[in-house]
Amino acid sequence: MSVHRCELPQDFVRGIVLIYVITGAASGIGAATAARLRGSGHDVIGVDLAGAEIDADLSTSVGRAQALEQITARTEVVDGVVPCAGLAGVPGRSGGLLTALNYFGAIELITGLRGHLRRSTQGAVVASASNSVSTSPGVSDSLVEACLAGDESAAIEIGDEVGGLGAYPSTKTAICRWVRRNAVLPEWTGAGITVNAVAPGATETAMVAEIREDPVIGQFFDQFPIPVGRPGDPDEIAAVIAFLLGPDARFFCGSIIYVDGGTDALLRADDWPTPL
């Protein structure tokens, strides 16, 4: 009788169980990433408003502190952090609330878990950017700067002035800059922690369903060009996140990986790379 090589993922075969923290784990890209990692035999501590291991409102500093406290009560080591919790940039949404969650809810979790990531031999952060950073108008430089300065109350104020539509690509631009500025520092790469981001294009999740139903921008959503001819599936984004978390991605440092069916390439063919 011949013994066939098992199809199980390598980490599972080697018996290595890693611990990942995923925010927004109850839906969409976060849920797909959690399912993929669990399917590879790893542990996932999900954080979301409800329906994950830890319930917390990451748009508030109290909720972030509670999440960090509960994560710490469960583990001293975290192998990867994937902050997916986010709100869509629809015109009727408070840009301040969106800023508090999409930027500060992500960065405070990442920085709050740096000590846990250092204790791992393969610590990795994969932040959630978006192709809107280069394909949507309305990025507010002052909002980006307030985010990067860590001034949450100023950022919320500017976010409310800008509104949900402009706050979304602004917070994602700030995420990209934070990743590129910090990934290269001794605190991160010097501590053996990789820091990168995925920049998805339109991906079929609850977020996209909400945008499609929006009375102002919903009718335009499916007119946005996607060269591959369809929106992405959450698992297609999760696959890239899982790769960036894994052992084959240790040379990635400060990369923003577009996974968008070609939208950015179509709209900005010659705008990148930009010469030094």
Q: 205 to 224, contacts with ligand NAD by CB under 6 A?
A: 205-208
For residue 44, the number of C-alpha atoms closer than 13 Å in the C-beta half-sphere is: 25
Select the span of 21-29, 180-188, 222-230, 239-247 touching ligand NAD (CB under 6 A): 21-29
What string marks each residue from 142 to 181 as x (binds ligand NAD by CB under 6 A) or -? ----------------------------------------
Nearer to ligand NAD, 28 or 189 (CB): 28
Q: State yes or no: is 168 an active-site residue.
A: yes
Q: What's the one-letter identity of residue 43?
A: D
Interatomic CA distance for residues 247 and 122, integer angstroms: 7
**Closest to 92 (Cα-Cα) out of 216, 242, 274:** 216
Nearer to ligand NAD, 134 or 205 (CB): 205
Q: 20, 103, 168, 258: which one is catalytic?
A: 168
Q: Which one of residues 85, 98, 117, 133 is an interface residue with ligand NAD (CB under 6 A)?
A: 85
Min separation Cβ 168 and ligand NAD, Å:
7
Min separation Cβ 60 and ligand NAD, Å:
8
Nearer to ligand NAD, 121 or 207 (CB): 207
What sign for the dihedral angle of Cα 53, 56, 59, 62? negative
Residue 44 vs residues 20, 41, 72, 75, 112: alpha-carbon distances, Å: 5, 10, 14, 11, 17
Q: What's the one-letter identity of residue 267?
A: L
CB 22, CB 85: distance < 8 Å: no
Interatomic CA distance for residues 24 and 6, integer angstroms: 32
Q: Which one of residues 33, 40, 99, 128 is an interface residue with ligand NAD (CB under 6 A)?
A: 128
Select the span of 35-43, 55-63, 221-229, 266-274 touching ligand NAD (CB under 6 A): 55-63
Under the binding rule (CB under 6 A), the answer on residue 34 touching ligand NAD is: no
Under the binding rule (CB under 6 A), the answer on residue 182 touching ligand NAD is: no
| Helix (DSSP H) and strand (DSSP E) numbers for the chain | 14, 7
* Residue 149: how many other CB atoms lie within 10 Å: 11
Nearer to ligand NAD, 121 or 225 (CB): 225
- Closest residue (Cβ) to ligand NAD? 28
Interatomic CA distance for residues 21 and 84, integer angstroms: 10
Number of residues that bind ligand NAD (CB under 6 A): 25
The CA R_g of the chain, rounded to the nearest whole Å, is 18
Contact footprint for ligand NAD (CB under 6 A) = 24, 26-30, 48-49, 57-59, 84-87, 101, 128, 130, 200, 202-203, 205-208
Active-site residues, by number, are 168
